[in-house]
Amino acid sequence: MHSTKRLYLASSNSGKLREFSAIAAEVNSPIELALLPGFSELAEFPEDAPTFAENAVGKALYTATITEETVCADDSGLVVPALGGQPGVHSARYARPNATGAQNIDKLLGALAGKKGNERQGYFVCALAVANMGRIVAVITNRADGVILEVPRGSGGFGYDPVFYFPSLNRTFAELSSAEKNLHSHRGKAFRRLLEVLPGML
Ligand code: ITT
């Protein structure tokens, strides 16, 4: 029998809380998740480091200054090696600041026009960092590998999902149920790993 341990997410996104809570419930985790109270009043953390992990660590340390509880911050995005790693850490604002998923997809398909085969390979990355009282407790990263399609397919998910074809399921991420996506996605895999290592550390 485990005692419950609380982990705050450095986010005001209730979709993210639902996604992570569903994964925690599946693995019967003793970690109880909640959105970090006061997160939306904090000045936005500038995610301008060159790697996902650095951004997640910076955001975790920054947001953990408003609580004595343990905080988890994440950063994620799509890396396309044939584009020199773009959109990368700029994934959310690839087309322009506050771009929609469709605008980012348009820019990505334009950048990949004429590219075939291996040049259309890409992968999603998720970095999770956990901080408490000014210290980093854990950093986890994981990835999901796929191929960027020429034409979007499916209406689920968000961001680049409609053009992210996942070969082992023969579907795009936008054609998966949320349970299927959680099983295979960069974020799902990183978060399950975090749930494995974290109970011993809190
Ligand atoms: P918060 O920081 O407010 O949580 P965000 O949209 O900036 O929201 P991330 O930094 O985690 O979230 O993700 C950056 C971008 O990477 C996101 O806006 C998408 O364009 C893309 N991305 C990340 N994970 C994705 C996924 O599972 N499917 C599709 N696109 C994804």
pLDDT at residue 1, as a whole number: 44
Which of 76, 107, 128 to mutate to test ligand 1, by most ligand atoms within 8 A of the CB atom? 76
C-alpha separations of 19 from 63, 73, 178 in Å: 20, 14, 8
List per-residue pLDDT tens for the chain, 202 residues long: 456 789 999 999 999 999 999 999 999 999 999 999 999 999 999 999 999 999 999 999 999 999 999 999 999 999 999 999 999 999 999 999 999 999 999 999 999 999 999 999 999 999 999 999 999 999 999 999 999 999 999 999 999 999 999 999 999 999 999 999 999 999 999 999 999 999 888 8
pLDDT at residue 200, as a whole number: 81
Residue linked to tokens 């909640």: 34
pTM value is 0.95
**Residues carrying an active site annotation:** 75
In angstroms, the CA 112 to CA 90 distance is: 17
Ligand 1 atom closest to 181 (CA): 27
Using the Cα atoms of residue 41, residue 47, residue 52 and residue 58 in order, give the sign of their dihedral: negative
In angstroms, the CA 12 to CA 2 distance is: 28
In angstroms, the CA 181 to CA 59 distance is: 25
Q: Specify whether the CB–CB gap between 7 and 130 falls below 8 A.
A: yes
**3-class SS at 129?**
strand
DSSP 159-193: TTGGGEEEGGGTEEGGGS-HHHHHHHSHHHHHHHH
| Atom 30 of ligand 1, residue of closest alpha carbon | 159
pLDDT at residue 54, as a whole number: 98
Contacts (Cβ under 8 Å, ≥6 apart) of 167: 146, 147
Ligand 1 atom closest to 185 (CA): 27
Domains of the chain: 6-197 (3.90.950.10)
Ligand 1 atom closest to 12 (CA): 3
Nearest to 125 by CA among 114, 106, 141: 141
Residues with CB under 6 A from ligand 1: 11, 13, 74-78, 91-92, 104, 124, 157-161, 173, 185, 187
